[in-house]
Every structure is written in structure tokens, then in C-alpha cells.
Amino acid sequence: MKIAVASDHGGYRLKERIKEYLRSRNIEVMDLGTDSEESVDYPVYGKSCAEAVASGKADRGIVCCGTGIGISIAANKVKGIRCALCTDVNMAEMTRKHNDANMLAMGGRTTDEETALKITEKWLDTEFEGGRHQRRVDMLNSM
């Protein structure tokens, strides 16, 4: 599995920690920036990560900004993306089971590192349930 990651300055440190975690699991990482805590614009990074996933260059994507809100809004503007902002492990589990979320967003200023890694682990390891949820995901994809 290849995971694309991206962040703005507010999510930079968390993105770096997530990269380490992914690599510790031998997951290939495509890092689309940013590369420091210097101020940048989150829509740029949300879009590039979402385009990597939508085009198939990456299997899934993880994005971080200060709250996770702005960058998830940006990602969800790209057709085919279902980016879920998660603040706890249950949300990560449910968004994989029910929404087949192909991107995960978290806030570097709102979610502590330990929780963020638990969220990431659950999101990576939970399968989509399909069934009645497939119809709803198809509806999302047709919008």
C-alpha cells in the first residue's frame, strides 16, 4: 500500500510523526509537503494529496492542518475523494466501515500525537463493510 501525506504548517509536525509510523509498518509514503513550519496555504496541500489518491498514484491519503478542517474541505472538493476528519478511534473505524474513506484528516493543534497514531492505525486496518453502505458511497461518488 502507498499512502500520500501532506500538511500545512499547522499539521507539519504531526505529518512527520505519521510518516515515521507508516514507515515503521513498511508502508510506502509519498510526501507532498509542506517541509517546514513556515506558513503556507492548506488548500494547496489538500488538493495535491487528494489528486494523488484520485488519480491512483497513491492508494490512500492522510492530511493534517491545524484543526484538520480546512485541509479536509480542500480534499473533499476533488472528485472521488472521501476525506474524513477524525478526532477519535471510533470515528476512524466507522468512516472506514461505512464511508470507505480514502483519506484521513487530523489536526496537529487539536489531536495529540498518541491519539493521532491510534486513529491512523485503526483507519489503516479497518475494511469497508460494503452492503447497504456501498449504495450510499455510490451516491457520494455520483455528486
The residues annotated with a catalytic role in the active site are 65, 98
CA distances from 25 to 3, 88, 92 (A): 12, 21, 18
Nine cell digits for residue 60? 490512500
62-73: string of b/e by CB count within 10 Å (b at 16+)? bbbbbbbebbbb
Q: 130 labelled as ligand-binding? A: no
Q: 68 labelled as ligand-binding? A: yes
Q: What angle do the packed helices 113-125 and 12-24 form, to 10 degrees? A: 50
Nearer Cβ to ligand RB5 (95/111): 111
- Which residue number places its CB atom closest to ligand RB5? 70
Give the residues lining the site for ligand RB5 (CB under 6 A): 8, 10, 42, 65-67, 69-70
Q: 69 labelled as ligand-binding? A: yes
Nine cell digits for residue 111? 489531536
CB of 64 to ligand RB5, least distance (A): 8
Cite the annotated binding site by residue number.
Answer: 8-9, 66-70, 99, 109, 132, 136
Cite the annotated binding site for D-ribulose 5-phosphate by residue number.
Answer: 8-9, 66-70, 99, 109, 132, 136
